[in-house]
């Protein structure tokens, strides 16, 4: 019996990771395409949350700290147009 293909979030905090569960071995390119879709969705989510943080009055220092980057890196990455 084959297991269905799924994407699973496991762990908590800094040990959180994504894992492909199921019969992905038979279709590695499908798994790669799924990973690309997840990457795009996560990038949109991060940008949205940065925008929400800015609208709430958070500083670039605070945003950078939450992302594990400097305030300058956060500003350079997120201050421009989408």
- pTM confidence score: 0.75
Residue 79 and residue 82: Cα distance in Å, rounded? 9
* Crossing angle (nearest 10°) for helices 60-67 and 71-78: 100
- Comparing C-alpha atoms, which of 8, 13, 11, 14 is closest to residue 35? 8
Question: What tens digit of pLDDT does each residue of 16-74 get?
Answer: 888 877 777 788 898 888 889 889 999 999 999 999 999 999 999 999 999 999 999 99
């Amino acid at each position: 019996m084959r297991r269905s293909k799924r994407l699973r979030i496991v762990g908590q905090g800094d040990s959180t990771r994504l894992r492909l569960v199921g019969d992905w071995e038979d279709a590695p390119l499908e798994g790669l395409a799924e990973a690309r879709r997840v990457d795009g969705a996560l990038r949109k989510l991060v940008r949205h949350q940065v925008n929400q943080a800015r609208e709430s009055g958070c500083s670039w220092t605070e945003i950078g700290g939450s992302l594990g980057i400097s305030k300058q890196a956060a500003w350079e990455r997120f201050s421009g147009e989408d």
